[in-house]
Chains A and B, each alone.
Chain A
Amino acid sequence: MVTANIIEIKNLDFFYVKGVKVLDGINLNLQPRDFLGLIGPNGGGKTTLLKIILGLLKPAEGTVKVFEQKPATARDQIGYVPQYAKIDLDYPINVLEVVLMGLLGNKKTFQRFNRVDKKRARQALAKVGLEKLAKKQIGELSGGQRQRVLIARALVRQPKLLILDEPTSSVDTKAGSDFFELLKKLNQDIAIIVVSHDIGMISPYINKVACLNNTLYCHDSSEIDEALIKSGYKCDIELLGHGIPHRVLKKH
């Protein structure tokens, strides 16, 4: 049986300034239930690629299909978790209000959030184990909890694809691995893309890895060995699909 790709990127080029390609000849396929780790150095184009998938930026060349549509029209099916560091901790908003924000785009100007919306928000919070903190201010939570609130905000839209940009950049290792356990659970029904520079942390959970550094660099090998990881940051986008989850790095 052939499953339709939920993301199909062909020969994608992108630049902010003419002549300086940030993305060059990118090809990427993502299938339902995939858990893709997108790694690469800073400035390698990871966030740019996410923005293209989300339809915030338009490619210069090539085609991008998300759920077989244009990215901007496929947004309803994508849950987006932005970089954690951007959250203002003093912001006067509680957890439930943050989660409800996920539903705001579906509302007309005069519509208020109703009981159904609030129920959905509480269900999303339950999924990330935070239903008891619904009325807490966002600034009162720990880093790991706050990150989960942002996941709940994405989940309340009932997405088929979850995209996370550097989710664990300011979370400690324990909270980080708990966090990925949660993602692993969510991955049973939702495809996931995680941008991270911490390959050690994401490797036990992902089933595909892509290394992005502007230009495309093809490896025929279907395995990731240590040498490849070491040279990984020199390669561009290396996509390896595996039937079963595996470790990218050998156990020490």
Chain B
Amino acid sequence: MLEILSYNFFQNALLTGLLASIAAGIVGSLIVLKKISFISGAVAHASFGGLGIAYFLGFNPVLGAAVFSVLSALGIGLVSKKSKSNEDALIGAMWAVGMAVGLIFIFLTPGYVADLFSYLFGNILLTTTGDIILVAVLDIIVIASVILFFRRFLAIIFDEEFCRVTNVKVLPIYLFLLALIALTVVVLIKVVGIILVIALLTLPAATAQLLSKSLKGIIIWSVILSGLATVAGLFLSYWLNWPTGPVIILLAALVYLVVLITMKVNKKQ
């Protein structure tokens, strides 16, 4: 089974998965704490709109997805903080509208659309060196941001109103967090695809929250757990000959369940 490690495409996939886990673990912890997985899911799906447009116009689809998802994240952030209208419905609409735009443009693009399925469900086995560099750059941005804004993230997630009253710049920090989420989502599209991305962001972080009582601990656990799920998922999917993305997600869910049940049982004793 280990002979697979000698293949270049598998090495690339492994490296991408591990690197992506760093960003996913950090950003996912913040998403779970702030309880904005619905917003993050909307950003992930809206990014498909950008992907489709870029595909149609002949640009790099990842770039299109990045621009579109950052813009939609900022849009959602402003709507959720500034507008008094039905935030929940608007976010849900953005979720579907992004997908609709993406599908239409991909449909309008002449020729065979080979990549559609891999954008929706991920195809980590097709990673290139360019992808690896992209993920590495994103990791650096995410790590730097969380070090720099650690206290501020911790504070605005805990008590936004108090922060506003004490002149902490809540809205810019929140929008920055959403932009980070958007960028992380784009990178993870390669690993598990648009549909599954939200699970890879939230499951390891939710498990980590059961294991640690400090934000630092949660982030570290979350990175470790999503790394484990990705690596184990890669091997398992190769061995079973199943699609990688769903296997990674199911493993992450399994780990969450096991930890949850173990904690409950231990508490009762």
Contact = CB atoms under 8 A, between A and B. Distances in A.
B167 A92 contact: no
B107 interface: no
B217 A92 contact: yes
B209 A92 contact: yes
B209 A90 contact: yes
Nearest to A102: B166
Nearest to A17: B84
A105 interface: yes
B159 A82 contact: yes
Interface in B133-166: 148-149, 151-152, 154-155, 157-159, 161-166
Nearest to B165: A80
Interface in A49-97: 54-56, 75-76, 78, 80, 82, 86-88, 90-94, 97
Contact of B162 (A76, A82, A107, A110): A82
A153 interface: yes
A116 B161 CA distance: 25
Contacts of B155: 101, 104
A75 B166 contact: yes
Contacts of A137: 213
B149 A109 contact: yes
Given A90-B209, A91-B33, A80 B162 contact: yes
A98 interface: yes
B166 A105 contact: yes
B143 to A, nearest CB: 16
Contacts of A146: none
| Residue picked from B148, B162, B166, B213, most chain A C-beta under 10 Å | B166
26 contacts: A55-B165, A56-B161, A56-B164, A56-B165, A80-B166, A82-B159, A82-B161, A87-B158, A91-B158, A92-B33, A92-B209, A92-B212, A92-B213, A92-B217, A93-B154, A93-B214, A100-B151, A101-B151, A101-B163, A102-B166, A104-B151, A104-B155, A109-B148, A109-B149, A137-B213, A157-B166
Interface of B: 33, 84, 148-149, 151-152, 154-155, 157-159, 161-168, 209, 212-215, 217-218
Closest 3 A-B residue pairs measured CB to CB? A105-B166, A105-B167, A80-B165
